[in-house]
Each structure stands twice: as structure tokens, then as C-alpha cells.
């Protein structure tokens, strides 16, 4: 059973990632902090031992997502709608924020790069962006992502490969620009 001191330690270690993930899912800060509080409180009540959990961070993400789905459900039931957790999970937005801090690159170049990365991300669906976020930033496996998003592993792979094909169709081959570069170098 985790003592309150242990809980504080675990909280400190994972709260930032949980906080960011929930904000990306489109919840406001107060709701997010309440949801995280509830997750850790429940851990204590249910006497969950962290020594037996293979990947604590994944466990916490899952608990947090379940809690957020419940919160959605409560508010939707309040409005008189009833939805399954899958549908709620499906309908949650997922927004990413692109920031670059690089002293070596000039401001206007940074703006252009940011624009390009945003283009890439904006052409994805919310669920695809969520996969990108989980895979690229949190380094989760397909199996973990599938469980978190309540979809099958296959569906998860398909979602990601679809996002790839979409991206490929978008991007112009870089080579087209290169002859111009070589020319430019030669002139100088």
C-alpha cells in the first residue's frame, strides 16, 4: 500500500506528463487537476502497489483517461445524452502545440518551420494526432496506445499508416528544390 509520502513522490514524477496529456485532450486546467487528484486518491483507497506495475506511467495515463471519460459522461448525462466510453473517447479533440526554441535559427525561419510542422499535424485527425503524441513524445508501444485509446492494435497501426499516406501525398519531394541550391552555391 502506498503511503502518502510515496504517493507524493509518484505524483511529482508523473504529474507533468499527465497534465499535458489531459490538456491536449481539450480539458480545462481545473478539470485536469481534479481528475489527476482523483486518480491518485483512488490509487490510495484501492491500495494499489506500484511495485507490481510494469509501467507506472502507462498505468497512470490509462487511469487518467478513464477518469476523463467518466467526467465527460457525467456532463453529457447532465445534458440528457448517454454515450458509450468508446464514443466519448472517439469524440475527444486532440490539439498539439508546436514550439521551437533555437538560438541558431533566425526568427522568420523558425516561423516557417513551425508552420510546416503544424501543416503536417493539422492534416491528421484528432486520433491520429493522439497516436503521434503518444508514440513520438511518450514513446509508447502500439499495444499500449491501443489500450489507452480503447481500440485494437491493428486499428492503431492502420490509423498511423493512414496518417503517413496522407502526409506523403502532401509533401513535395525535396529534390525538386535542390538543383536551385546547387546553382546558387556555384554562383557564389
Residues that bind another protein (CB under 8 A): 4, 7-8, 11-12, 15-16, 19-20, 23-24, 33, 36-37, 40-41, 44-45, 96-102, 104-105, 109, 112-114, 116-117, 119-121, 132-133, 135-137, 160-161, 163-164, 167-168, 170-175, 177-178, 181, 184-185, 188
Nearer to another protein, 16 or 74 (CB): 16
Are residues 32 and 19 in contact, defined by beta-carbon separation less than 8 angstroms?
A: yes
Nearer to another protein, 14 or 58 (CB): 14
| Closest by CA position to 22, among listed 9, 12, 8, 37 | 37
What span, in angstroms and rounded, lies between the C-alpha atoms of 47 and 92?
A: 30
C-alpha cell at 71: 467526467
CB of 118 to another protein, least distance (A): 10
Radius of gyration over every alpha carbon of the chain, rounded to an integer in angstroms: 21
CB of 57 to another protein, least distance (A): 15
What burial class does residue 144 get, using C-beta atoms within 10 Å of its C-beta: 0-12 exposed, 13-18 middle, 19+ buried?
Answer: buried
Nearer to another protein, 86 or 109 (CB): 109
Q: Which residues contact 56 (CB under 8 A, 6 or more apart)?
A: 10, 14, 50
CB of 126 to another protein, least distance (A): 14
Nearer to another protein, 58 or 133 (CB): 133
CB of 112 to another protein, least distance (A): 6
Amino acid at each position: 500500500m502506498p503511503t502518502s509520502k510515496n504517493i507524493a513522490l509518484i505524483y511529482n514524477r508523473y504529474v507533468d506528463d499527465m497534465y499535458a496529456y489531459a490538456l491536449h485532450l481539450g480539458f480545462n486546467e481545473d478539470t485536469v487537476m481534479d481528475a489527476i487528484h482523483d486518480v491518485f486518491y483512488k490509487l490510495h483507497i484501492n491500495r494499489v502497489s506500484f511495485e507490481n506495475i510494469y509501467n507506472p506511467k502507462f498505468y497512470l495515463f490509462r487511469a487518467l483517461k478513464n477518469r476523463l471519460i467518466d467526467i465527460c459522461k457525467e456532463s453529457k448525462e447532465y445534458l440528457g445524452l448517454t454515450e458509450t466510453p468508446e464514443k466519448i473517447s472517439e469524440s475527444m479533440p486532440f490539439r498539439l502545440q508546436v514550439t521551437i526554441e533555437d538560438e541558431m535559427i533566425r526568427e522568420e525561419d523558425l516561423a516557417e518551420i513551425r508552420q510546416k510542422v503544424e501543416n503536417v499535424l493539422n492534416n491528421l485527425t484528432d486520433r491520429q494526432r493522439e497516436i503521434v503524441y503518444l508514440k513520438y513524445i511518450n514513446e509508447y508501444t502500439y499495444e499500449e496506445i491501443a489500450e489507452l485509446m480503447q481500440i485494437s492494435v491493428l486499428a492503431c497501426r492502420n490509423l498511423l499508416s493512414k496518417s503517413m499516406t496522407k502526409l506523403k501525398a502532401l509533401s513535395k519531394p525535396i529534390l525538386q528544390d535542390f538543383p536551385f541550391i546547387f546553382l546558387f552555391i556555384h554562383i557564389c
